[in-house]
Chain A
Amino acid sequence: MNQIALDIRGLAKQFGPKVAVDNVSLQVPSGSFYGLVGPNGAGKTTMLSMATGLLRPDAGQALVNGVDIWADPQAAKATMGVLADGVRQFDRLTGRQLVTYSGLLRGMERAEVTDRTEDLLRVMDLSDDGDKLVVDYSAGMTKKISLATAMIHSPKLLVLDEPFEAVDPVSAANIRDILNDYVKFGGTVIVSSHVMDLVQRMCTHVAVIAGGVLKAQGSVDEVRGEMTLEDRFVDLVGGRANNEGLSWLRTSSN
Chain B
Amino acid sequence: MVAHILKLKLRLLANGFKRSVGQLVGVIIGGVYALGLIVMLTLAAWFTAGESAIAGEVSIIVASLVVLGWAVIPPLLTGVDLTLEPSRFVHFGIPQKALGPALVLSGFISVPAILTIVGLIGGSLTFRYDPLALVVGIVAAIITAVMAVLVCQYLTIMATALRAKRRFREFTFAVLFLILVCLGPIISSIAMAASSLVDLVVPIANVLAYTPLGAAAALPGAIAAGNYVQFGICLVLTVIYLAGLYWLVSRATAKATVTPPPEQQAAKQSGLGFFKYAPSNPAGAVGARALTYWFKDPRYAIGVLMVPVLPLIFWFVGNQSGNYTMMFLLGPFIGILLGFSISADISYDNTAFALHVLTGVSGRADRAGRALACLTLSIIPVLAAAILPGAISGEVWRIPGDIGMSLAALLVALGVASVASARYTYAVPLPGDNPMKTPPGNGMRVALTQLATFTTMGVLLIPVIIPYLIAWFQESQGLSFLTLGIGLVLGIGLFLGGLVLGGKWYENRAPELMQAVMLNK
Interface pair B361/A105, CB less than 8 Å apart: yes
| B211 contacts partner chain A, Cβ-Cβ < 8 Å | no
Interface pair A90/B349, CB less than 8 Å apart: yes
Q: Contacts A54-B514, A55-B514, A56-B511 given: A84-B354 contact, CB under 8 Å?
A: yes
Instruction: Give Cα A95–Cα B286 distance, bound, in whole angstroms.
Output: 16
Q: Could you say which interface size class chain B belongs to?
A: 35 or more
Q: Contacts A102-B359, A104-B285, A105-B282 given: A87-B272 contact, CB under 8 Å?
A: no
| B447 contacts partner chain A, Cβ-Cβ < 8 Å | no
Distance in Å from the Cβ of B427 to the closest Cβ of chain A? Answer: 16
0/1 string, A104-145, CB within 8 A of B gives 1: 111101100100000000000000000111011000000000
Instruction: Give Cα A233–Cα B208 distance, bound, in whole angstroms.
Output: 71
Interface pair A105/B352, CB less than 8 Å apart: no
0/1 string, B346-357, CB within 8 A of A gives 1: 000111101111
Instruction: Give Cα A101–Cα B512 distance, bound, in whole angstroms.
Output: 23
Interface pair A94/B269, CB less than 8 Å apart: yes
| A205 contacts partner chain B, Cβ-Cβ < 8 Å | no
| A97 contacts partner chain B, Cβ-Cβ < 8 Å | yes
Closest to A82 in B: B358
Interface pair B351/A93, CB less than 8 Å apart: no
Chain B residues whose C-beta falls within 8 Å of the C-beta of A78 in the assembled complex: 360
Interface pair B282/A104, CB less than 8 Å apart: yes
| B31 contacts partner chain A, Cβ-Cβ < 8 Å | no
Instruction: Give Cα A120–Cα B359 distance, bound, in whole angstroms.
Output: 18
Chain B residues whose C-beta falls within 8 Å of the C-beta of A53 in the assembled complex: 357-358, 360, 510-511
| B439 contacts partner chain A, Cβ-Cβ < 8 Å | no
Closest to A109 in B: B280
Chain A residues whose C-beta falls within 8 Å of the C-beta of B404 in the assembled complex: none
Interface pair A135/B432, CB less than 8 Å apart: yes
Chain A residues whose C-beta falls within 8 Å of the C-beta of B4 in the assembled complex: none
Instruction: Give Cα A94–Cα B510 distance, bound, in whole angstroms.
Output: 25
| A217 contacts partner chain B, Cβ-Cβ < 8 Å | no
Count, chain A residues at interface, CB 8 A: 40
CB contacts under 8 Å to A, within B168-221, are: none
Interface pair A88/B352, CB less than 8 Å apart: yes
| A86 contacts partner chain B, Cβ-Cβ < 8 Å | yes
Instruction: Give Cα A96–Cα B272 distance, bound, in whole angstroms.
Output: 7
Distance in Å from the Cβ of B511 to the closest Cβ of chain A? Answer: 5
| B85 contacts partner chain A, Cβ-Cβ < 8 Å | no
Closest to B360 in A: A77
Closest to B359 in A: A105
0/1 string, B278-309, CB within 8 A of A gives 1: 00111011101100110011000000000000
Among candidates B166, B266, B292, B350, residue contacting A93 with C-beta atoms closer than 8 Å: B292
Among candidates B166, B281, B297, B511, residue contacting A107 with C-beta atoms closer than 8 Å: B281
| B268 contacts partner chain A, Cβ-Cβ < 8 Å | yes
Instruction: Give Cα A105–Cα B349 distance, bound, in whole angstroms.
Output: 15
CB contacts under 8 Å to A, within B207-257, are: none
Q: Contacts A104-B284, A133-B266 given: A93-B358 contact, CB under 8 Å?
A: no
| A92 contacts partner chain B, Cβ-Cβ < 8 Å | yes
Q: Contacts A56-B511, A104-B275, A107-B282 given: A92-B268 contact, CB under 8 Å?
A: no
Interface pair A55/B286, CB less than 8 Å apart: no
CB contacts under 8 Å to B, within A63-106, are: 73-74, 76-78, 82, 84, 86-94, 96-97, 100-102, 104-106
New contact pairs (13) apart from A105-B355, A106-B361, CB-CB < 8 Å: A54-B354, A54-B511, A55-B515, A73-B360, A77-B358, A97-B273, A97-B289, A97-B292, A100-B275, A105-B286, A110-B280, A133-B269, A149-B355
Taking beta carbons and an 8 Å cutoff, which residues of A are in contact with B? 52-56, 73-74, 76-78, 82, 84, 86-94, 96-97, 100-102, 104-107, 109-110, 113, 131-133, 135-136, 149-150
Q: A-B pairs with the 6 shortest C-beta distances?
A: A77-B360, A104-B285, A110-B280, A87-B351, A136-B266, A87-B354
**7 A–B pairs (Cβ distance < 8 Å), ordered by A:** A54-B354, A78-B360, A88-B354, A92-B297, A93-B289, A107-B281, A132-B268
